[in-house]
A and B are shown apart, each in its own frame.
Chain A
Amino acid sequence: EAQVTQNPRYLITVTGKKLTVTCSQNMNHEYMSWYRQDPGLGLRQIYYSMNVEVTDKGDVPEGYKVSRKEKRNFPLILESPSPNQTSLYFCASSTWTGMNTGELFFGEGSRLTVL
């Protein structure tokens, strides 16, 4: 089954404790991206990757890091989480054709709470 898998789905952590949210896709997609969703603000892009070893900042990259060492994986790293990073996070992927037609495939989301 074609899918984008995120882990963990739910996490409660404390300020300053480094964490990683993993994202893996099995569709051989070149493009991957991370979004955060907050009430009233919609989905805001954090980082995206056009291909292996190619990443770029989205609209809200502060406090986050990413890496793309393999085509299928695109982890999101919070080196020192703060309460304002409490949010619902989505990973998404697409082919080049899909990006030209605006079609992203989303994971189920990871709900992160930073105390």
Chain B
Amino acid sequence: GQSLEQPSEVTAVEGAIVQINCTYQTSGFYGLSWYQQHDGGAPTFLSYNALDGLEETGRFSSFLSRSDSYGYLLLQELQMKDSASYFCAATGGGGNKLTFGTGTQLKVEL
């Protein structure tokens, strides 16, 4: 089976840095991706890690440690518009299956 765990809610202030963690148990693991979803709208792809280390895309960075079955999404210079739900997702099962975590609701406050 496949399962991913992430905190249900995180709160941070505008301008701060926040880290959203994800631990996974996935057979045939390929890589870990991150999605953002605003208010029940369409999830949008943010980043993907197949190898250990940090991937940076603007204010967002994502990290993976395959040996620890762990990854995180780092959001810097938080803005109010970053308030959303963030999902980690693991690609596994031969590369044709994407399993999502239960999501972390990020609230950015003034």
A residues apposed to B, CB below 8 Å? 31, 33, 35, 37, 40-45, 48, 50, 56, 58-59, 88, 90, 99-109, 111
Contact = CB atoms under 8 A, between A and B. Distances in A.
Contacts of A58: 97
Interface residues of B, number: 25
B72 interface: no
A31 to B, nearest CB: 7
12 contacts: A35-B100, A37-B40, A42-B101, A43-B89, A50-B96, A59-B99, A88-B40, A100-B30, A100-B95, A102-B30, A102-B45, A106-B44
Contacts of A101: 31, 33, 48, 50, 91
A55 B63 CA distance: 33
A99 B91 contact: yes
B43 interface: yes
B48 A103 contact: yes
Contacts of B41: 108-109
